[in-house]
Amino acid sequence: MYVKNFSDIGYPVTSNGQKPPDFNQTFTDYFAWQAFIALNWPTDGSGKPSTQSTILTDTTSPRVWSTYKTKEDVFGTQVAGIENANCASNSKNLKVFRTSKFELTSFEQAFKPYPLIDRYGNFVLYDVRLNDVEVNYLQKNNLTTSKGQSNFKQAYDFPRGAGNNPGAIEIKSSWRIMTEQDDKTAYYTTPATIIVPPEYSDSGKEMCIDTTVGLVGMHIAQKFTNPTPFSDFWLWATFEHVANAPMADGAPVSQLNDASPLSSLDPPICQRKPDTSDPTRYSFYDPTCKDSNGDCPINTPPATKTGNLYKWSAVPPYAKTYMTTTSAGSFGTQVARCFAIYESARSVTGAYQAKLGGSPWSKYMLVGAQWAAASATEATAFRALMPFPAPIYLSNTTLETYLQDGAVMKPENGAGSCITCHNRATDTTNKPSNFSFLPGAAK
Assign 358 a pLDDT band (cuts: 50, 70, 90): confident
Mean pLDDT over 428-440 rounds to 94
Measured in residues, the chain has a length of 443
> pLDDT by residue (tens digit) across 382-414?
444 455 677 878 899 999 998 876 555 555 555
> pLDDT by residue (tens digit) across 291-346?
878 889 999 988 876 667 788 999 999 999 999 988 888 999 999 998 889 888 99
The 8-class DSSP code of residue 96 comes to: T
For residue 417, the model assigns a pLDDT of 78
> pLDDT by residue (tens digit) across 235-258?
999 999 999 999 999 888 876 554
Q: Is the pLDDT assigned to residue 102 strictly greater than 70?
A: no
For residue 237, the model assigns a pLDDT of 97
User: CA torsion angle for 164, 165, 170, 174 (degrees, to 10)?
Assistant: 30
Assign 260 a pLDDT band (cuts: 50, 70, 90): very low
What is the spatial distance between Cα 2 and Cα 384, in angstroms, rounded to a whole number? 31
Domain definitions of the chain by residue range: 6-441
What is the spatial distance between Cα 404 and Cα 364, in angstroms, rounded to a whole number? 20
> pLDDT by residue (tens digit) across 269-292?
788 999 888 899 999 999 999 887
**Residue 359 burial class via C-beta count within 10 angstroms: exposed 0-12, middle 13-18, buried 19 and up:** middle
Q: Is the pLDDT assigned to residue 1 strictly greater than 60?
A: no
Question: Given phi > 0 = left and psi -120 to 50 = alpha, else beta, which region is 332?
Answer: beta
What is the spatial distance between Cα 294 and Cα 267, in angstroms, rounded to a whole number? 24
Q: Which helix (H) or strand (E) holds 217?
A: strand 207-222
Q: Is the pLDDT assigned to residue 16 strictly greater than 90?
A: no
In our burial notation (b when 16+ CB lie closer than 10 A, e otherwise), range 406-436 reads: beebbbeebbbbbbbbbbebebbbebebbbb
Q: Is the pLDDT assigned to residue 347 strictly greater than 60?
A: yes
Non-local CB neighbours of 351 within 8 Å, separated by 6+ positions: none
Better-scored residue on pLDDT, 352 or 26: 352
DSSP track, 192-212: EEEEE-GGGBTTSS-EEEEEE
